[in-house]
Structure 1
Amino acid sequence: MDGQRDSSSERRLQSAAVFKAFLSKNSTKSNTNLYDHLTRLLLKVMDEQPHNAVDVIEDLSYDVKQDLFEDRQSNLRDLPQTTAAELLAEKQRLLFTQQEDEQEDELAETPLPNVSEIGFYLEQAGVGMGREELQRVFLALKQLVESQPVIQRCRLWGKILGTQSNYIVAEAECKEWEDEEEEKIGDEAAEEEEREAETREGDENEMDPLPQSTYKPPPVVPKEAMGTGANRFVYYVCKEPGLPWVKLPSVSPAQITVARQIRKFFSGRLDSPVNSYPPFPGNEGNYLRAQIARISAGTQVSPQGFFQTGEEEGDEEDEAPRDSYDVNPDFEGISVAEMVESLSTWVHHIQHILQQGRCTWVNLAVKREEDQNEDGEAEETEEEPDEPEQEVGPPLLTPLSQDAEIFNTPPWTTKLSSTLTSQHAAAMLRSNLWPGAYAYACGKKFENIYVGWGLKDVGEGYSPPLPPLPQKEYPSGPEITEAQDPSVEEEQVLEEALDEQEAEQEELDDTDEGELLDDD
């Protein structure tokens, strides 16, 4: 009996081994075996203990296979590609490298201000760009100065936000101003005059010429020279510290005039078109330059007495507005409490932009050399235009207390950077007309910065300007105006009147001939 039991147990062990070997056979498709799958399935049932496990055993089996497949696929994934942040960090790494010749020139005079000190004061007021970004911006400004030897003085103007990317703006004063290419406005006007002359010649040759348009475009306001007015400084922009700087073109009065009438967010691409009404004469780079000029003219301020215009007694007769100033070496500073209490202690040190789009008014009614004849005298016109009244803006270094309110909003707001330690605080100034423009002053130190969208506050809402009235197609007159046909009775009366006129004319001719014969 014992021998039979031993032989039966041996047969069961042999069959179990054969069955396990069968279960452990790997599949040719998934390279897995049923033994391992059942083991994982039982472990999953024991871990989760689902309700009515026999009803969901098929779903559990599918989940086990899916998990095994995802684990194997995760091992075959490619390494992640280099992100844009890593590429930018690689470019910014070059900003932190210092060459040997730069170490020797550390004590030399630099055109850059102390950006770390400026960032400290701005941080007290809760504005600026943060310590880390400001440090990278300072190194980017250093890179700009080294690549442009003509820069005499450079500072961080601010940051203009965009929908796709931002603009970091640097303001530079150059030693020598480069001559930019002249605008093609004069060439286009000459070509248009030639086309009009050819059209007039062709119309004269025709039997019935077409009526000519009497519309004349307004004269083009000339652009201010580099280093003067709205083009006093040169501006460079970059999207991020470490990326290349791009020099913005000079601004024209037409661009400033249209920029005052439109409101457009910046996209972050200088070459993108500006779709607006009225149409803007340029791309986003020109629009950015126009907004920078407007913001600078309205928000660049300094403590009263820090700058002086250098006026003398003999200069009182000169009525031309001054556009330059010098640092006052005798400036001793103004107390912080006084600068917070009164706006008269702050002044504008950038010229005001007139409605003409320039800082200095130009008379467009003066006859040009092309409009004069050979004798040097101006050709007479049918109607002499009225002499335009000269536009005069506020003089340089005008106190902020004279700024007018717009939409019942005070133009400026002052405060202390800290009310807890007022003896060590700085006076902060915020513009309400250009949100994002700030200035601080502490002793003999001050600075201006702008961080915003580059748009002016227009009150409750913005209303775009209406299009102008359409031009008349042709002048109205009896020769062109259509009239009704006369009746038969009116034609007979007209013929009788014409016959009477002809008869009277013949009698007058006969009388004149008789008098001539008598004289002979």
Structure 2
Amino acid sequence: MEPPGGEQRLQAAASLKAFMLRNSTQSNTNLYEHLTQLLIKVMDERPENVVDVIGDMSREVKRSLFEDKQSTLRDLPLTTAAELLAEEQRLLFSRPEQTDQEEELVEIPLPNVSEIGFYLEQAGVGLGREEMQKVFLALKQLVDSQALQHCRLWGKILGTESSYIIAEAEYREGADEEEQSTEEAAEEEEREAAIEENEMDPLPQSAYKPLPVVPKEAIGTGANKCVYYVCKEPGLPWVKLPSVSPAQITAARQIRKFFTGRLDNPIVSYPPFPGGEANYLRAQIARISAGTQVSPQGFFQAGEEEGEEEDEAPRDNYEVNADFEGVPVTEMVESLSTWVHHVQHILQQGRCTWVNLAVKPEEDYNEEGEAEEKEEEPDEPEPEVGPPLLTPLSQDAEMFNIPPWSSKISSTLTSQHALAILRSNLWPGAYAYACGKKYENIYVGWGLKYAGEGYSPPVPPLPEKEYPSGPEITETLDPSLEEEQALKEALEEQEAAQEEVDDTDEEEEEDDD
């Protein structure tokens, strides 16, 4: 056969080019443009062994032409939560631009959290070295921003969504002015609203007198002796918890609720809790502190104040004993008498100091200056007295047939460098250690007290009884017509008899005259 001529070759080339320019139904591209882009890529890059990598280069050319018109995948977030937290924590490790050497040598009112973490690690508790270092820097940031006199790591309470890192600080004079002014403003607004409502639509006055409200302890005393700040993670803002009231402590003893990690979360429970999660958290902190804050015997001594001997109220102040030389570790492990409570006990009233609710501050006087007569008041209740401050742990009562405390030594191999470790069985998560002249308390748990093998919520109260039925409140039936006629005749006879008696009396008086 003879080879095709020139015209046939042109026709064949045109037909082949038309075939190569035909677009694909899948990728909407054609072979001619693909080969052109592939040859341009080969000439630009000039790779070695091009025949071996021509397939990969072809796939790269196809991939570069792909356009994602519609994707079912989720858009990746620009920044994750971990990145945002790392950005917040980065500020903890930054130093001020201008710092004097004299300022760097000034002691801060903060214990060595790294050293405390080292001892807690030997006790098998704590938050870990990395988190403890972050907490140390966060506490330093809190001290600098709030100008606190003393601050320490109280512990960590776990939650279902996030946890609370809690810092305990000493009360500063004047720190409660803002809080008290806020509470007084809220009470004044409620009082004005009630007055306006009564003026518009006066309601009938009820003779019911509610039970007296147990007053809240002043800030800096009792359950409100210390101030507490919380944050969710080191580096996030610190939030100051409000002061606790006796009603909140009493209600917290009757409910069991897990924390969510949101301070504004409402507490739905029975009996109802007066406040939100921030108030419930503060009440649990007060209860845990009163039951688990312990120290070696002799480390603190009762403070002396003028006129304190005449006052029968329990002492709430103590000071560090400068002559304390420490207690041997073996002795602290074997006997609970070497440990004492240095936080006041909370009474059943919800306060650390009992208050007599039957005493009225002022008496009512009439215009002549004499005291008005009052009904006989019942006998005054017997004052409740709790254990005094610095009471040994050996006097703690058992619950659910288990000892309230468990003690052990950190290491039996190197006992000369070991620690005495104390664990609370009533508040799981509360630990204390002591070594020489050093000791510390920490709580890491869910913030709930041990309730025995099983917890049963309280039974609702019985329904109120119906009002008594008697003739003075019972509605009588309407009389019939015959009964009304008989009653009318009887009344007429009584009136006639009475008139006859009156006439007879008048006649006798006239005869006498």
Matching of residue 287 in structure 1 with residue 283 in structure 2: no
1:402 to 395, 399, 404: 395
1:162 to 159, 164, 183: 159
- 2:128 aligned partner, one-letter code: G
The gaps in structure 2 that reach 5 residues or longer are 35-58
TM superposition shift of 1:109: 2.3
Distance in 2 (CA, whole Å) between partners of 1:401 and 1:481 is 63
TM superposition shift of 1:497: 9.1
Taking only aligned residues, the RMSD between alpha carbons, in angstroms, comes to 4.3
Measured against aligned partners, the alpha-carbon deviations of 1:439-487 in whole angstroms (never above 9, x if no partner) come to 1111111111111111111112223233344556767654223456789
| 1:216–1:74 Cα change, 3 Å | same
TM superposition shift of 1:398: 0.8
Residue range with higher mean Cα deviation, 317-326 or 436-445: 317-326
TM superposition shift of 1:312: 8.6
- 1:303 aligned partner, one-letter code: P
Alignment of 1:465-476 (within 5 A): 465-470=458-463
Q: What residue is the counterpart of 1:368 in the other structure?
A: 361
Alignment of 1:87-486 (within 5 A): 87-99=84-96, 100-101=98-99, 103-149=101-147, 151-177=148-174, 178-179=176-177, 180-181=180-181, 182=183, 215-310=208-303, 315-369=308-362, 379-470=372-463, 478-482=471-475
- 2:455 aligned partner, one-letter code: Y
- 1:230 aligned partner, one-letter code: A
- 2:458 aligned partner, one-letter code: P
Distance in 2 (CA, whole Å) between partners of 1:476 and 1:440 is 66
- 2:94 aligned partner, one-letter code: T
Distance in 1 (CA, whole Å) between partners of 2:362 and 2:196 is 18
Measured against aligned partners, the alpha-carbon deviations of 1:254-275 in whole angstroms (never above 9, x if no partner) come to 1111111111111111112111
- 1:27 aligned partner, one-letter code: N
- 2:141 aligned partner, one-letter code: Q
**1:309–1:324: 8 Å Cα contact kept in structure 2?**
yes
| 1:194–1:88 Cα change, 3 Å | closer
Distance in 2 (CA, whole Å) between partners of 1:403 and 1:508 is 87
TM superposition shift of 1:23: 7.0
Q: What residue is the counterpart of 1:49 in the other structure?
A: none
| 1:76–1:242 Cα change, 3 Å | farther
Distance in 1 (CA, whole Å) between partners of 2:218 and 2:455 is 33
| 1:128–1:505 Cα change, 3 Å | farther
- 1:169 aligned partner, one-letter code: I
Measured against aligned partners, the alpha-carbon deviations of 1:75-109 in whole angstroms (never above 9, x if no partner) come to 99977511111011111111111113265422212
Distance in 2 (CA, whole Å) between partners of 1:33 and 1:134 is 63
Q: What residue is the counterpart of 1:27 in the other structure?
A: 23
TM superposition shift of 1:367: 1.5
The normalised TM-score by structure 1 is 0.78
TM superposition shift of 1:313: 11
Measured against aligned partners, the alpha-carbon deviations of 1:126-169 in whole angstroms (never above 9, x if no partner) come to 211111111111111111111112x1100111111111111111
- 2:413 aligned partner, one-letter code: L
Distance in 1 (CA, whole Å) between partners of 2:507 and 2:419 is 108
Equivalenced residues, count: 479
**1:310–1:326: 8 Å Cα contact kept in structure 2?**
yes
Distance in 2 (CA, whole Å) between partners of 1:198 and 1:418 is 75
**1:160–1:451: 8 Å Cα contact kept in structure 2?**
yes
The normalised TM-score by structure 2 is 0.79
- 2:460 aligned partner, one-letter code: P
**1:20–1:35: 8 Å Cα contact kept in structure 2?**
no
**1:213–1:474: 8 Å Cα contact kept in structure 2?**
no
**1:352–1:393: 8 Å Cα contact kept in structure 2?**
yes
| 1:70–1:339 Cα change, 3 Å | farther
TM superposition shift of 1:501: 8.2
| 1:224–1:378 Cα change, 3 Å | farther
Residue range with higher mean Cα deviation, 506-515 or 124-133: 506-515
| 1:248–1:80 Cα change, 3 Å | closer
| 1:202–1:412 Cα change, 3 Å | closer
TM superposition shift of 1:33: 5.2
